[in-house]
Amino acid sequence: MLDIKQIRDNPQLVQEKLNTRGNNYDIQPLLALDRQQRELEAKRNQLQARSNEIAKLIPEKIKAGGNPKGEEIQALRDEGSSIKADLGTLEPLEKDFTAKINELLLALPNLPSDSTPMGKSEEDNVEVRRWGDEYIPQNPNIVPHWEIGEKLGILNFERAVKVAQSRFVTLVGAGAALERALIQFMLDRHIAAGYVEVIPPFLINSESMTATGQLPKFAEESFKCASDDLWLAPTAEVPVTNLYRGEILDSLDLPIYHCAYTPCFRREAGSYGRDMRGLIRLHQFNKVELVKFVHPSTSFDELEKLVGNAEAILQALQLPYRVIELCTADLGFSSAKTYDLEVWLPSSGKYREISSCSNFMDFQGRRAQIRFKESGKKGTQLIHTLNGSGLAIGRTMAAILENYQLEDKIQIPSALQPYLGREVL
């Protein structure tokens, strides 16, 4: 959530930054409500001050010899009663304005960081670097991962449709083993890099979804339980970030690094007709997520380290990839700066996203009210949060099935062989 004070003090700058996102975000209705709310607040404060003054005056005048039933005392009492009635009218009005302001604030995305490239679409994203060109297979006969997976009997989409619907998959035999191996491999690597593993709830309440920016904007993208205020986790970012919601942390405990495996559930409502086959865009998929809680002064350095942690997995698996810096128009709703990692998929001759690493700055911290306190300093500060996939498991499997394809079998990356106890599928 953006800071209403920042919007109030620098409306032109905020509007200009929002405009770089490519949507029609108008802060004028918000500013108008804010002015009205502050006018009401000022009036209420004046009335409350006068009410307090009257409450002191009456006993003082009586003590000084005034007649408790005299006109002067009665006039003060009548004025106090009138003020109390006015306050009773103003307070709900002020709460109504506050609620409307919060509703508008929740609909505004984060402001792009000063270092985020300007752009009007994903075509303006900036390639930062590539890695692993020497590992790009030269075999011209590579088939899509779903074809080799079905041929080997490790992916079954038809039976998954029978059990659920389209955009689900059943992993069979070595396919299930490969999925588990990838999860364990990634967790082991991230724990060795300093992350503390957590297994959070996979069902989360609306307050948690709102705190990280999924609600209200992305309600249609998420699966909600019909009888409860619970949603299926769209990513581990949501439950892990909310572990600290409403808390004041000690600056000495920062940075806090967590990694978590969770199944993820998304409707993919805005992607109809895209990637209907294979493992790229499923309603249910597994992911290992990296989440950081850091001091504001270090958050951009921590973003670079986070990207490095995700890259280390791809490098260990010897999967060719590139790093893309997203432009302002392609940023996620809550992000101030994002790097995407895109892995090479030979069957399509394209790089496809496998991880998105973002710095949210204080956007989620404000929504979730996660603060920290520094020793010797008054007050608290909002935490900066970051997260990134380390990695999306299904997309990693797809990349392995294509980049390590050898006619009717799959070579297992050497780093995964100890987890699977075999060299080929």
| Separation of alpha carbons 214 and 231, rounded Å | 11
CB 35 within 8 A of CB 126: no
pLDDT recorded at residue 10: 98
Burial 384-417, CB ≥16 within 10 A → b, else e: bbbbbbbbbbbbbbbbbbbbbbeeeebebbeebe
Torsion angles phi and psi, residue 418, rounded to 5: -65, -25
Q: Which residues participate in catalysis according to the annotation?
A: 266, 281, 353, 356, 395
Other C-beta atoms closer than 10 Å to the C-beta of 366 total: 19
Q: What's the token pair of residue 344?
A: 């090479």
| Separation of alpha carbons 32 and 20, rounded Å | 23
- pLDDT tens-place string over residues 224-234: 999 999 999 99
pLDDT recorded at residue 296: 98
Q: Which residue carries 């990280």 as its tokens?
A: 212
| Separation of alpha carbons 157 and 365, rounded Å | 40
From first to last of its 425 residues, the chain has per-residue pLDDT tens of 999 999 999 999 999 999 999 989 999 999 999 999 999 999 999 999 999 999 999 999 898 988 988 889 999 999 999 999 999 999 999 999 999 999 999 999 999 999 999 999 999 999 999 999 999 999 999 999 999 999 999 999 999 999 999 999 999 999 999 999 999 999 999 999 999 999 999 999 999 999 999 999 999 999 999 999 999 999 999 999 999 999 999 999 999 999 999 999 999 866 656 677 999 999 999 999 999 999 999 999 999 999 999 999 999 999 999 999 999 999 999 999 999 999 999 999 999 999 999 999 999 999 999 999 999 999 999 999 999 999 999 999 999 999 999 988 999 999 999 999 999 99
**CA atoms within a 13 Å half-sphere pointing along the CA-CB vector of 14:** 21
pLDDT recorded at residue 59: 92
Q: What is the C-alpha radius of gyration for the chain, rounded to an integer number of angstroms? A: 28
DSSP calls for 62-128: HHTT--TTSHHHHHHHHHHHHHHHHHHHHHHHHHHHHHHHHHHHHTSPPPPPTTSPP-SSGGG-EEE
pLDDT recorded at residue 275: 75
- pLDDT tens-place string over residues 129-156: 999 999 999 999 999 999 999 999 999 9
Q: What's the token pair of residue 175?
A: 């396919």
- Does the predicted TM-score (pTM) go above 0.95? no
| Separation of alpha carbons 287 and 107, rounded Å | 27
